[in-house]
A = this chain, B = another copy of it.
């Protein structure tokens, strides 16, 4: 059904049903002027992210369900990066008038899929017409007993990363190169795994944040995001290139395409791994990729050669 037939209030009613609240903490959800949640003794975390068609996503690459999944995932990632638990999600949608209603329902299925995984409840939002493409804006509320910022890294700390880097950037590269044809390849290939990493990022929350001194999620590329930690903590960093975790898929595809996998791993965005610092001997499943120093920002390669790095990565407006 076209949204022009369903109308705004019709759509909201449908979405309300799809987001029936299951928590006693949500006193009022979708359907009033604002959502109401119980107060809490913990610190409240709030983040918001906007995804715009043609800038952040291409509807010829992604399904609506994948898009919904990623939309909430990028917001959850921001809350995890502060050491918090994601709780309540508000969705604002700008929707082209000729959209089919089931596009939006499919998107909500994707949102609910990851919401269930992380215990997030969709509590409200706003829908309106967009004169051009689809616009998604989300605000995610979370809470934390201990908040981890970007500013607590100390010289001597180790630098850790929860997941392999560069897969998402390679996935995007493949989508741009082959577009829809990519889906004809066998689903067991590296290609589809890399593409999935781009379309439905894997989030790995930390089990404990007790000894973590600073944290950020890798959205702009690890060099850019580590630079944020250095800026805010007023420290330097050394990364050991051969400690950077690469997936077998990234290595294989980069070789095949004659590309340097480290270009993807160091500068590629949207990995949504957690990058954190902790005492050097910290025991964790995460990969240790370097250490915090007093000054300077260096990459050391396998020959021990040291080069300065700059915060290269994806930046808007440039």
Chain B's nearest CB lies how many Å from the CB of A4?
Answer: 5
> For residue A217, which residues in chain B have a CB less than 8 angstroms away from its CB?
33
Chain B's nearest CB lies how many Å from the CB of A125?
Answer: 6
Counting chain B CB atoms within 10 Å of each CB, the highest count among A33, A90, A131 belongs to: A33
Q: Interface majority SS on A: helix, strand, loop or mixed? A: strand
Number of copies: 2
Chain B's nearest CB lies how many Å from the CB of A305?
Answer: 29
> For residue A92, which residues in chain B have a CB less than 8 angstroms away from its CB?
48-50, 137
Chain B's nearest CB lies how many Å from the CB of A142?
Answer: 7
Whether A315 contacts B94 in the complex (CB less than 8 A), given A133-B132, A139-B46, comes out as no
Task: Tell whether, in the assembled complex, residue A8 and residue B149 are in contact, meaning their CB atoms are under 8 Å apart.
Answer: no
Q: Which residue of B lies closest to A219 (CB)?
A: B33
Give A231-246 as 1s and 0s: 1 = Cβ < 8 Å from B's Cβ atoms.
Answer: 0100000000000000
Whether A37 contacts B44 in the complex (CB less than 8 A), given A50-B126, A127-B316, A316-B129, comes out as yes
User: In the bound complex, how far is the Cα of B83 from the Cα of A34, in angstroms?
Assistant: 10
CB contacts under 8 Å to B, within A151-170, are none
Give A202-217 as 1s and 0s: 1 = Cβ < 8 Å from B's Cβ atoms.
Answer: 0000000000000011
Whether A32 contacts B94 in the complex (CB less than 8 A), given A46-B123, A318-B7, comes out as no
Q: Within the complex, which residue of B27, B50, B77, B93 is in contact with A128, where a contact is CB–CB below 8 Å?
A: B50
User: In the bound complex, how far is the Cα of B137 from the Cα of A139, in angstroms?
Assistant: 9
* Chain A contact residues, CB within 8 Å of chain B: 3-4, 6-9, 11, 27-28, 31-50, 52-56, 77-79, 81-82, 84, 88, 90-95, 97, 123-133, 135, 137, 139-144, 147, 149-150, 216-217, 232, 315-318
